[in-house]
Chains A and B, each alone.
Chain A
Amino acid sequence: MAQFHEDPALLTKEKLKSELLANNVPLPSADSKKDVYVQLYLKNLTVLNKKNTSAPAPDTFSSDEEMTAPLLSGRSRSGKKATRKTDRVRPVENDISGLTDEELKGQLMKYGVLSGPIVASTRKVYEKKLQQLLEQPPLESSLPEPETTIPEALTIKAGGNQNGNTHSAEEQYSDKEEEVGPVPEPVPVVSKPVRSRGKTPVTVRTSSRQRTKQQVEETATDTEETVDGGDILKEIFPNEPATPTGITVTCRKPIRGAAGRPVKPLSLWSEESLQQQNTYTVTKSSVTDVRSATPAARPRPRRWFAFWLKLLVFIALAASLYYAFQYVTTDQINACQLYVQDNVITPIANYIRWETPAEGGDDK
């Protein structure tokens, strides 16, 4: 080869190895990761390339656009497997760890990955992600890649659902976040939004498990979105009947003890009716509440009165007892006893005598 590749990552490992060997570059003894060969290749050959030609080194991102065009043609020549490689020429990413958080975020953005904050805890994950994106090019996400991926997609698309970009097919989902492309891989390279708010139906799908799952989820989220309020309401109140506005109201039972209401029903005459009301409200719902509300309104003022009445009676009793202990003389007690005896005991005694003549005598 007259000209050495600017981005050795485009080549396969075998190709790299052979190139290195051809140029008498010592290979690592054991079979290493591709990165190692890429590094070697870059170090030894691209440098030479610089010396040979006056082509500008691809050290800036802005020059990518110029680079990708010649590379496109170069790639179709370089072999079948090369079509699998990324077209993005970014030698800077060979050292992903060296990137700052900002740069890492920028890199991910170029792949259409809307990354979250790159913090200490998330950095590693994003580095891995970028690495994956570099080595196996994605199923590029739905964001329309501005540069030359489109003509590339056309050339590769014929190759079917390989790792190549089926970007043009994906373009219809442009308003969505990341999507999984049609590559049936166990680990989706580009994250897929589980709760994506996309409205367009998913059409390009293979028989991958995850894809169908996402499809189900997407349709689910779609339906969820349209009937959002109703579904949530149904979830929260599964037992309530459906109403046109989604709102049901039940009359609130008057809370005892609140707003100055007595904690227990004190009215003597209304206790029975209240008990009845209680059983009603326990077994049934709003209708009986309405029913009980009206009769309850009437006894309520009565309850107050009854309460005070009871209190009064109690006080009177207490007072009389006190009076009795203090002022009443024994004579009066005796007189009272006699009186009671005469008027109460004797009738009882008579009654008993009448009932059981055998008994006779009064028991006092």
Chain B
Amino acid sequence: MSSTSQKHKDFVAEPMGEKTVMALAGIGEVLGKRLEEKGFDKAYVVLGQFLVLKKDEELFREWLKDTCGANTKQQGDCYSCLREWCDSFL
């Protein structure tokens, strides 16, 4: 099992509230900027997309790749981050 980054731990530790997309694990400045341009300016909007895709890993990864050009690792990080958050708070 891969270890989780500090960013992941921080995100999963509490309700996301109004955190920006940059707070998501795997999403840095560049990707965050791209997501914001597409209208996904807050973490909860990305969460919304994640849920609409029924928390499906492949679809969400695909969507992430299409929307902001995330690579495999970034996709994985973001996906597991959101999934774990949902497990705790949803």
Interface residues of A (CB under 8 A from B): 114-117, 119, 121-122, 124-126, 128-129, 178, 187-188, 190-195, 216
Contact = CB atoms under 8 A, between A and B. Distances in A.
A233 to B, nearest CB: 14
Given A124-B66, A129-B62, A194 B49 contact: no
B52 A129 contact: no
Closest 9 CB pairs of A and B: A191-B58, A116-B54, A191-B56, A125-B63, A125-B62, A125-B59, A194-B57, A116-B53, A122-B52
B33 interface: no
Contacts of B54: 114-116
A119 B58 contact: no
A117 B52 contact: yes
Interface residues of B, number: 14
A188 B58 contact: yes
Tell me which of B1, B49, B52, B66 has the highest count of chain A C-beta atoms within 10 A of its own C-beta. B52
Nearest to B88: A235
Contacts of A194: 55, 57, 83
B62 A128 contact: yes
B37 to A, nearest CB: 14
Interface string B1-43: 1000000000000000000000000000000000000000000
B10 to A, nearest CB: 18
B26 to A, nearest CB: 16
A216 to B, nearest CB: 8
Contact of A191 (B1, B59, B83): B59
A96 to B, nearest CB: 15
B53 A125 contact: yes
22 contacts: A114-B54, A115-B54, A116-B53, A116-B59, A117-B52, A119-B52, A122-B49, A122-B53, A122-B59, A124-B63, A125-B53, A125-B62, A129-B62, A188-B58, A191-B56, A191-B57, A191-B58, A191-B59, A194-B57, A195-B55, A195-B83, A216-B1
B36 to A, nearest CB: 15
A125 B58 CA distance: 10
Contacts of A188: 58
A142 B82 CA distance: 26
Interface string B43-82: 0000001001111111100110010000000000000000
Contact of A116 (B1, B56, B57, B66): B56
Tell me which of A116, A117, A178 has the highest count of chain B C-beta atoms within 10 A of its own C-beta. A116
Contacts of B59: 116, 122, 125-126, 129, 191
Contacts of A178: 56
Nearest to B39: A121
Given A117-B52, A178-B56, A192-B58, 4 more contacts: A115-B54, A119-B52, A128-B66, A129-B59
Contacts of B53: 116, 122, 125
A187 B52 CA distance: 21
Contacts of A114: 54
Contacts of A121: 49, 52, 63
A116 B52 contact: yes
Contacts of A195: 55, 83
A192 B62 CA distance: 13
